[in-house]
């Protein structure tokens, strides 16, 4: 049940998160230009209803449709939600954000099923005609369903929810919502709660009163700040204590609430602190009739205050401070008396929960007993970089207990027939099954630090098989091959780079490989394509971009480049401080990859590698 709820919450959140910029723009226009805003302007304020009524629902529906049915599903979703909007009266009706969350995926599902039915049955030469008319006709039908059914139904649901909230407000029971808000946040349902429930209700309230307290419930940074302050001042574990100040900055000013979740997981009793802190803040906001004019996203103090009406700015600050103080006072003695596990263990638990929520920390195929496992294959698209490092790290991890197990890497389409367990990313599972139907599939997010790899380790080491007299030859070749000094050179190392997008970082690595004569220029788009196919993020702050399998003919000679981004490059939910570009011919690069894996497996060396300003120091680490 927990996994199902988390997956559903992630799905709802995924429809909203790519469009947060639009919510922020709408929020700023509202906060600045409405009559009670910072700089009232009637003409500019007139933009706001169009964004709320049409733009935001269309973006959400398009994103939801695309998630289910690809680009055609996105177009279907945008068409379909217009039926919902019209069905409730357009400007005169309720905002259809919740309707968009239903119509988008539904429309995407419809076109996906149509495309599956037409697969292999489309007459040659009629593809464009059928594709365009199918979206048009099915989009019209789904829009009509939205007009007569989904729109009115979701309007009724929103009316019921709003009425329920009004009852809670009148009965002075709204503060009790913190009892489920704070635990749900730690289970990674924060975005689902904020954008799937509170924002639609808040929009309805704000349309009537100009502000809504619903925007203040989940986004308040005060409860989490109190927990982090308590750990900073009273934690017994030095690593935890030292990490807290950085977490405070990220949480309070960056708005990334997830940063304090591991601190709660270290000692679950601490959850009492943010619950009571938020109860006190909501009570204060209720008594003082506070509210925000738009959703605070992300939940930083900057966004929180920017959405606050000018006359109540001081009250908003007091409410955040109240939540912080109460949370700190309760958390402090718990932390001080606690013998909790360390932060590293808590972060591992958090990673496992994330993986469960995404549905990726699972294995498919019949699970094998430890004594049945003789060969484990790490497989990626090209079998060049990420799988090689993953195999090296896992091989070193189990060799003391299971020297009889062969651990190799290969491309996903060339998994050998004697493979017992294949380790692949979720997007490559179908190809892996086709290549090795006999193998157990272990599905991961990244190749270096994934909860599924911990489970695999436990699986293969639960019983010791008879030790082999010597490690398999393929392992010896990888471990003992001499490092080629020309594979990584001083000119191929760049440190202290400023943050960029992941596409820009991958392109920069490709250009450097090209400039040093390792690859043709055509190899660079293949590196971008590889990221689009399956993430090149490896875990532990490391990304290994390389080309797809069909771009191997663009490699002139084996080479590796390293780009250091101390502030990190966003790869989805993670940040990579190290972007290591790879171009490999045969197995020439495997020895150096093994050395890189060895270096990043040492926490002190990894941290040094992420922060050093010396190119010579980086190069020396891989000799």
| pLDDT at residue 592, as a whole number | 62
CB hemisphere CA count around 353 (13 angstroms): 19
Q: Look at 152 and 346; give whichever has higher pLDDT.
A: 152
Beta bridge partners of 378: 409, 423
C-alpha closest to that of 48 among 18, 23, 81 = 23
Q: Is the pLDDT of residue 601 over 60?
A: yes
| pLDDT at residue 473, as a whole number | 38
| pLDDT at residue 3, as a whole number | 53
| pLDDT at residue 526, as a whole number | 86
Residues in CB range of 612: below 8 A, 6 or more apart: 495, 564, 618
Angle at 430 between CA 73 and CA 589, to 5 degrees: 115
**To the nearest whole number, what is the mean pLDDT of the chain?**
82
Q: Is the pLDDT of residue 328 over 60?
A: yes
Percent of the chain at pLDDT > 70 equals 86
C-alpha closest to that of 184 among 362, 12, 359, 426 = 12
Q: Is the pLDDT of residue 588 over 70?
A: no
Window from 29-43, 71-85, 425-439, 479-493 with minimum mean pLDDT: 479-493
| pLDDT at residue 589, as a whole number | 57
| pLDDT at residue 479, as a whole number | 39
Q: Is the pLDDT of residue 453 over 80?
A: yes
Rounded average pLDDT over 554-562: 86
Taking the C-alpha atoms of residue 612 and residue 70, their distance in angstroms, rounded to an integer, is 42
pLDDT digits (tens, 9 = 90+) for 12-49: 777 877 888 888 888 888 888 888 778 889 999 899 88
| pLDDT at residue 467, as a whole number | 45
- In this structure, the number of other CB atoms found within 10 A of the CB of residue 479 comes to 16
| pLDDT at residue 78, as a whole number | 97
| pLDDT at residue 8, as a whole number | 66
| pLDDT at residue 376, as a whole number | 93
Rounded average pLDDT over 267-273: 92
Verify whether residue 589 is a known catalytic residue. no
Per-residue confidence band for 529, with pLDDT thresholds at 50, 70 and 90:
confident
Q: Look at 103 and 191; give whichever has higher pLDDT.
A: 103
Rounded average pLDDT over 573-592: 76
Do 340 and 267 meet the contact criterion of CB atoms below 8 Å apart? yes
| CA-based radius of gyration for the chain | 27
Rounded average pLDDT over 405-414: 83
Window from 68-72, 88-92, 129-133, 237-241 with minimum mean pLDDT: 237-241
Do 62 and 75 meet the contact criterion of CB atoms below 8 Å apart? yes
Q: Is the pLDDT of residue 341 over 60?
A: no
Q: Is the pLDDT of residue 465 over 50?
A: no
Exactly one of 195, 251, 257, 546 is catalytic; name it: 546
Exactly one of 84, 280, 290, 380 is catalytic; name it: 380
| pLDDT at residue 382, as a whole number | 61
C-alpha closest to that of 565 among 586, 584, 588, 545 = 545
Q: Is the pLDDT of residue 183 over 70?
A: yes
Percent of the chain at pLDDT > 90 equals 31
Residue 259 structure tokens: 């940063």
Rounded average pLDDT over 101-113: 94
Per-residue confidence band for 556, with pLDDT thresholds at 50, 70 and 90:
confident
Which residue, chain included where needed, has tokens 């970082």? 505
Q: Is the pLDDT of residue 198 over 60?
A: yes
Q: Is the pLDDT of residue 76 over 90?
A: yes
Q: What are phi and psi of 578, to 5 degrees?
A: -120, 125
pLDDT digits (tens, 9 = 90+) for 34-43: 887 788 899 9
DSSP string covering 134-176: HHHHHHHHHHHHIIIIIHHHHHHHHHHHHHHHHHHHHTT-GGG
Rounded average pLDDT over 162-187: 84
C-alpha closest to that of 535 among 366, 340, 356, 380 = 380
Q: Is the pLDDT of residue 275 over 90?
A: yes
C-alpha closest to that of 150 among 193, 192, 115, 105 = 105
Q: Look at 6 and 479; give whichever has higher pLDDT.
A: 6
Q: Is the pLDDT of residue 74 over 60?
A: yes
Taking the C-alpha atoms of residue 111 and residue 469, their distance in angstroms, rounded to an integer, is 58
pLDDT digits (tens, 9 = 90+) for 124-145: 778 889 989 999 999 999 999 9
Which residue, chain included where needed, has tokens 């290994």? 544
Window from 45-49, 89-93, 465-469, 516-520 with minimum mean pLDDT: 465-469
Verify whether residue 546 is a known catalytic residue. yes
Has this prediction a pTM greater than 0.85?
no
| pLDDT at residue 507, as a whole number | 92
| pLDDT at residue 362, as a whole number | 42
3-state secondary structure 428-466: HHHHHHHHCCCCEEEEECCCCCCHHHHHHHHHHHCCCCC
Do 194 and 273 meet the contact criterion of CB atoms below 8 Å apart? no
pLDDT digits (tens, 9 = 90+) for 200-255: 788 778 877 888 999 999 999 999 999 999 999 998 877 778 888 988 998 999 88
Q: Is the pLDDT of residue 147 over 60?
A: yes
DSSP state of 344: H
Highest mean pLDDT among 267-276, 434-443, 474-483, 548-557: 267-276
Highest mean pLDDT among 10-14, 384-388, 440-444: 440-444
| pLDDT at residue 509, as a whole number | 92
Q: Is the pLDDT of residue 468 over 70?
A: no
Do 383 and 410 meet the contact criterion of CB atoms below 8 Å apart? yes
Taking the C-alpha atoms of residue 272 and residue 227, their distance in angstroms, rounded to an integer, is 10
Taking the C-alpha atoms of residue 309 and residue 447, their distance in angstroms, rounded to an integer, is 47
- In this structure, the number of other CB atoms found within 10 A of the CB of residue 71 comes to 12
């Amino acid at each position: 049940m927990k996994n199902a709820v988390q997956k559903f919450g992630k799905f709802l959140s995924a429809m909203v998160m790519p469009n947060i910029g639009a919510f922020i723009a709408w929020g700023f226009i509202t906060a600045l230009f409405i009559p009670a805003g910072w700089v009232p302007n009637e003409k500019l304020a007139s933009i706001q209803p169009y964004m709320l009524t049409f733009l935001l629902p269309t973006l959400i529906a398009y994103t939801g449709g695309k998630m289910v049915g690809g680009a055609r599903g996105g177009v279907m979703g945008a068409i379909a939600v217009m039926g919902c909007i019209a069905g409730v009266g357009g400007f005169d009706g309720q905002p259809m954000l919740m309707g968009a969350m239903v119509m988008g995926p539904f429309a995407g599902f419809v076109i996906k099923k149509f495309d599956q039915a037409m697969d292999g049955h489309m007459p040659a030469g009629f593809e464009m005609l059928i594709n365009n008319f199918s979206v048009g006709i099915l989009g019209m039908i789904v829009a009509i369903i939205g007009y007569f059914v989904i729109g009115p139904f979701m309007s009724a649901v929103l009316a019921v929810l709003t009425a329920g909230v009004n009852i809670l407000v009148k009965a002075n029971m709204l503060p009790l919502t913190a009892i489920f808000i704070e635990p749900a946040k730690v289970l990674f349902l924060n975005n689902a709660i904020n954008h799937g429930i509170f924002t639609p209700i808040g929009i309805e309230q704000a349309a009537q009163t100009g502000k809504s307290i619903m925007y203040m419930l989940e986004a308040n940074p005060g409860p989490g700040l109190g927990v982090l302050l308590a750990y900073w001042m009273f934690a017994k574990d030095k690593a935890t204590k030292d990490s807290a100040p950085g977490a405070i900055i990220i949480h309070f000013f960056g708005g990334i609430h997830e940063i304090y979740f591991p601190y709660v997981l270290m000692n679950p009793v601490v959850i009492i602190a943010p619950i009571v802190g938020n109860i006190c803040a909501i009570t204060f906001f209720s008594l003082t009739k506070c509210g925000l004019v738009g959703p605070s996203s992300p939940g930083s103090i900057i966004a929180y205050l920017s959405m606050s009406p000018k006359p109540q700015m001081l009250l908003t600050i007091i409410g955040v401070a109240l939540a912080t103080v109460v949370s700190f006072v309760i958390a402090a003695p718990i932390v001080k008396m606690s013998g909790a596990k360390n932060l590293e263990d808590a972060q591992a638990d958090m990673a496992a929960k994330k993986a469960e929520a995404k549905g990726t920390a699972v294995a498919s195929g019949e699970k094998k007993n430890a004594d049945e496992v003789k060969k484990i294959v790490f497989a990626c698209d090209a079998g060049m970089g990420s799988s090689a490092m993953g195999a090296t790290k896992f091989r070193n991890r189990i060799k003391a207990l299971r020297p009889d197990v062969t651990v190799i890497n290969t491309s996903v389409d060339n998994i050998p027939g004697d493979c017992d367990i294949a380790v692949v990313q979720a997007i490559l599972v179908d190809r892996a099954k086709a290549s090795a139907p006999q193998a157990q599939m272990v599905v991961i997010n990244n190749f270096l630090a994934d909860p599924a790899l911990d489970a695999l380790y436990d699986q293969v080491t639960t019983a010791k098989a008879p030790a082999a007299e010597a490690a398999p030859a393929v392992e010896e070749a990888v471990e003992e091959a001499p490092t080629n000094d020309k594979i990584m050179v001083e000119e191929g190392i760049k440190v202290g780079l400023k943050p960029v997008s992941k596409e820009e970082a991958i392109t920069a690595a490709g250009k450097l490989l090209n400039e040093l004569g390792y690859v043709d220029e055509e190899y660079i788009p293949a590196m971008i394509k590889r990221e689009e196919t399956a993430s090149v993020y490896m875990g532990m702050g490391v990304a290994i971009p390389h080309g797809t399998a069909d771009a191997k003919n663009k490699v002139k000679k084996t080479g590796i480049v390293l780009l250091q981004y101390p502030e990190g490059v966003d790869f989805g939910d993670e940040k990579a401080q190290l972007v290591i570009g790879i171009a490999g011919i045969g197995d020439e690069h495997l020895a150096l990859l093994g050395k890189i894996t060895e270096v990043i497996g040492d926490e002190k060396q990894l941290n040094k590698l992420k922060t050093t300003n010396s190119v010579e120091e980086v190069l020396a680490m891989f000799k």
